[in-house]
Structure 1
Amino acid sequence: MKIEWAPLQVPLQRRLQILVTAFFTWSFFLLPIVSVIIVALLFIYGSLFLRALIVLYLIYSYFDHKRTYSAMDGNGWMINRTNSIYRNYRNYFPVELVKTADLPANRNYILASFPHGILGTGICINMGLDITKWLELFPKIRPKVGTLDQHFQTPILRELLRWWGLVSVSKESLVYFLTKSNDPKHKDNRDGFTSNAVAILVGGAQEALDSHPGRYILTLKNRKGFVKMAIRTGSSIVPSISFGEVDIFNQVANPPNSILRKIQDFVKKFTGISPLIPVGRGFFNYTFGFLPYRRPIVQVVGSPIDVLKSSQPDPAYVEEIHAKVMTELEQLFDKYKEKYIPDSKNIKLIIQ
C-alpha cells in the first residue's frame, strides 16, 4: 500500500484544526470506556477523602438521572457551545448549516436527522458544540442533540455531554424537553428562548453500520417512534439531511451476512452500540488512521411538518405522518444533492 504523506509545511491554523478534531474524534470513540477506567483507578488508588467524593458523585449522578434524566435546561454554559477552539473542529471539514424554511419559536421540534454516519459529526457540531450559526438562522430556538440514555449513566462522560448540549433520547427525556412551555413569560424562558429543537439520528446504530462513502442508506421504514413522540407532545417534525456525513470516514467492508456484520449485529443487539471499524487519515498521512478526512458536511434543514397532538396516537395517523417524512426527505435529497454531492448522478437515496 502506497502511503500518501501530508506536506511538512502546513499552516499553524490547520495544525490546530487537526489537534482539536483528533481530541473530539477520540473522545467520542473512547470516552465511554476511559471515563469508567478513570473513576475506577481513582477509587482504587485515591485517598479516603477522594474515594468518599467519588461515592457521593456516583450516588448523586444516579439519582439525578432518575429524577431529571440528566437534563440541562436552557443552552447550558455558552462558553462550551460557542468558542474559537471548537470552531476549529467546524472549520476542519468544514461543516455548514443551510436553512430552507423558518422555524417559528412558538412550538418545539424534533429534527429527524439523516444519515447517522460514523459519529453524526455534522449534527453534533451545528447543534451541540458550535451553535453560533444555528442561533443566527433559528433565533430563540435552543438546539439539543439526542444520544443513547446509557451515556448519561456513565460518570464523567455524562457531564461532558451535558455541557456540549446533548440530551438523553429516552422517552422521558424527550417528553421533558418537547413539552416545555413556549410562552415568553414562562419562568423556563428567562433566557430569551421559547422553543426546544431536539435532533434525533433516527437510523441510529443500524444506519451507522451501513455508512460508507457515497452511500446514502437510511434506516427509516420501520422507525416510527419519533413520529409517535411528535404526536404525543405536539412537536413539529423537521427533516434534515447532512450531505457529506458518510464521506468523512471509510469503514472496513461489512456487507450484510458477512462474518463481521454478524458480529456487529450481535454486539449491537445486547449493547445498543455498533462496534464500528472506521478508517480515516493520520496526523501526517492521508492514507490510514483514525482522523476523519477533510471533506465538507452540509446539514440542510427542511420545512416543519406539523402534527395534531394526541396522547394516544392513531396508527393510521402515525403512518400518514411517517410517509410525509419519507417524502420530504426524498425531495430534500433530490433538490440539493447536485449542489452538495460530487458526481451526484451516480448517487441515490435508499430508504430501508
Structure 2
Amino acid sequence: MKIEWAPLRVPLERRIQILVTAFFTSMLLILLSVSFLLVAGSLIYGGLLVRSLMVTYLAYVFVHHKKTQSVVDGNGWMITRTNPLHRHYRDYFPVELVKTAELPPTKNYILASFPHGILGTGIGINMGLEISKWLELFPQVRPKLGTLDQHFHVPFMREVLRCWGLVSVSKEALIRMLSKSNDPKHKDNRDGFTSNAVAILVGGAQEAMDSHPGQYILTLKNRKGFVRMAIRTGSSIVPSFSFGEVDIFDQVANPPSSLLRRFQDFVKKLTGVSPLIPVGRGFFNYTFGFLPFRRRIVQVVGAPIDVVKSDQPDSQYVDKVHGQVIEALEKLFDEYKDKYLENSKSATLVVH
C-alpha cells in the first residue's frame, strides 16, 4: 500500500485543528478510561475521606439520574458549548449548518437526524459542542443531542456530556425535555429560550455499521418510536440530513453476511453499541490512521412536520407521520445533494 504523506509545512491553524480533532475523536475512550481510573483508584487506594466522598458521589449519580434522567434543563454553561477550541474542531472539516425553514420557539421539536455515520460528528458539533451557528439561525430554541442512556450512568463522564447539552434518549428523559412549557413567563424559560429541540440519530448503531464513503443507507423503516414520542408530547418532527457525514471515515469491510458483521450484530444486541473498526487518516499521512478525513459536512435542517398530540398514538396515524418523515428526507436528499456532494450523480439514498 502506497502511503500518501502530508506536507511538512502546514499553517499553524491547521496543525491546531488536527490536534483538537484528535482529542475529540478519542474523547469517548478518554472519558471512559479516566472515569474508571478515578473511581477504581479512589476506592482501592484512597483514604477513608476519599472513599467516603467517592461512595457519596456514586450514590448521587444513581439517585440524580433516576430522579431527573441527568437532564440539564437549560443550555448549561455557554463556555462549554461555544469556545475557540470547539470552533477549531468545527473548522477542521468544516461543519456547516443550513436552515430551510423557521422553527418557531412556541413548541418543542424532535430532529430526526440522518445519517448516523461513524460518530455523528456533524450534528454533534452543531447541536452539542459549537452551537453558535444554531443559536444564530434558530433563536430561542435550545439545541440538545440525544445519546445512549447508559452513558449517563458512568461517573464523571456524564458530567462532561451534560455540559455539552447531551441528553438520554430514554423515554423518561425525552418526555421530560419535550413536555417543557413554551410560555416565556415560565420559570424554566428565564434564560430567554422557550423551546427545546432534541436531535435523535434514529438509525443508531445499526446505521453506523452501514456507514461507508458515498453510501447513504438509512435505518428507518422499522424505527417509529420517535414518531410515537412526538405524538405523545405534541412535538413537531424536523427531518435533518447531514451531507458528507459518511465520507469522513471509512471502515473495515463488513457486508451483512460477513463474520465481522455477525460479530458486530452480536455485540450490538448485548450492549446497544456496535464495535466498529474505522479507517481514517494519520497525523502525517492521508492513507491510514484514526483521524477523520478533512471533508465537508453540511447539516440541512428541513421544515417541521406538525403532529396532533395524543397520549395513545393510533398505529395508522403513526404510520402516516412516519411516511411523511421518509418522504421529507428523500426530498431533502434530492434537493440538496447536487449542491453539497462532490459525486452527487452516483449518490443514492437507500432507506431500510
Q: TM-score range by the shorter chain?
A: over 0.9
Give CA-to-partner distance per residue, 1:94-140, whole Å, 9 cap, x none: 00000000000000000000000000000110000000000000000
Query: Which residue in the other structure is 1:262 paired with?
Result: 262
Query: Which residue in the other structure is 1:311 paired with?
Result: 311
Report the alpha carbon displacement of residue 32 of structure 1 after superposing the two structures with TM: 2.9
Task: Decide whether the 8 Å contact of 1:240 with 1:329 is kept in 2.
Answer: yes
Amino acid at match of 2:351: I
Amino acid at match of 1:196: N
Q: Helix, strand or coil for the counterpart of 2:26?
A: helix
Q: Give every structure 1 segment of 4 or more consecutive aligned residues whose post-TM-superposition deviation is greater than 6 Å.
A: none
TM-score normalised by L of structure 2:
0.99
Query: Which residue in the other structure is 1:247 paired with?
Result: 247
Q: Helix, strand or coil for the counterpart of 1:346?
A: coil
Query: Which residue in the other structure is 1:203 paired with?
Result: 203
Report the alpha carbon displacement of residue 337 of structure 1 after superposing the two structures with TM: 0.2
Moved more, 95-104 or 16-25: 16-25
Query: Which residue in the other structure is 2:132 paired with?
Result: 132
Amino acid at match of 2:269: K
Q: What is the CA–CA distance in structure 2 between the aligned matches of 1:10 and 1:48, rounded to whole Å? A: 51
Q: What is the CA–CA distance in structure 1 between the aligned matches of 2:39 and 2:19, rounded to whole Å? A: 26
Report the alpha carbon displacement of residue 280 of structure 1 after superposing the two structures with TM: 0.6
Query: Which residue in the other structure is 1:335 paired with?
Result: 335
Report the alpha carbon displacement of residue 3 of structure 1 after superposing the two structures with TM: 1.2
Report the alpha carbon displacement of residue 29 of structure 1 after superposing the two structures with TM: 4.1
Query: Which residue in the other structure is 1:297 paired with?
Result: 297
The 5-angstrom pairing of residues 14-29 of structure 1 reads 14-29=14-29
* Unmatched runs of 5 consecutive residues or more in structure 2: none
Q: What is the CA–CA distance in structure 1 between the aligned matches of 2:35 and 2:221, rounded to whole Å? A: 35
The 5-angstrom pairing of residues 63-212 of structure 1 reads 63-212=63-212
Task: Decide whether the 8 Å contact of 1:6 with 1:285 is kept in 2.
Answer: yes
Report the alpha carbon displacement of residue 42 of structure 1 after superposing the two structures with TM: 2.8
Task: Decide whether the 8 Å contact of 1:32 with 1:151 is kept in 2.
Answer: no
Amino acid at match of 2:319: E
Q: Helix, strand or coil for the counterpart of 1:241?
A: strand
Shift in CA distance, 171/67, structure 1 to aligned 2, threshold 3 Å: same
Report the alpha carbon displacement of residue 30 of structure 1 after superposing the two structures with TM: 4.4
Query: Which residue in the other structure is 1:38 paired with?
Result: 38
Q: CA RMSD in A?
A: 0.8
Q: What is the CA–CA distance in structure 2 between the aligned matches of 1:201 and 1:227, rounded to whole Å? A: 13
Report sequence identity in percent.
73
Q: Helix, strand or coil for the counterpart of 1:229?
A: helix
Report the alpha carbon displacement of residue 49 of structure 1 after superposing the two structures with TM: 1.7
Report the alpha carbon displacement of residue 308 of structure 1 after superposing the two structures with TM: 0.1
TM-score normalised by L of structure 1:
0.99
Amino acid at match of 1:242: S
Q: What is the CA–CA distance in structure 2 between the aligned matches of 1:28 and 1:119, rounded to whole Å? A: 10
Task: Decide whether the 8 Å contact of 1:212 with 1:250 is kept in 2.
Answer: yes
Q: What is the CA–CA distance in structure 1 between the aligned matches of 2:67 and 2:110, rounded to whole Å? A: 23
Moved more, 242-251 or 27-36: 27-36
Q: Helix, strand or coil for the counterpart of 1:306?
A: coil
Q: What is the CA–CA distance in structure 2 between the aligned matches of 1:217 and 1:189, rounded to whole Å? A: 38
Amino acid at match of 1:304: P
Amino acid at match of 1:100: T
The 5-angstrom pairing of residues 278-289 of structure 1 reads 278-289=278-289
Report the alpha carbon displacement of residue 34 of structure 1 after superposing the two structures with TM: 4.1
Q: What is the CA–CA distance in structure 2 between the aligned matches of 1:348 and 1:37, rounded to whole Å? A: 45
Task: Decide whether the 8 Å contact of 1:142 with 1:196 is kept in 2.
Answer: yes
Q: Helix, strand or coil for the counterpart of 2:102?
A: coil
* Unmatched runs of 5 consecutive residues or more in structure 1: none
The total of aligned residue pairs comes to 352
Give CA-to-partner distance per residue, 1:295-349, whole Å, 9 cap, x none: 0000000000000000000000000000000000000000000011111111100
Amino acid at match of 2:38: I
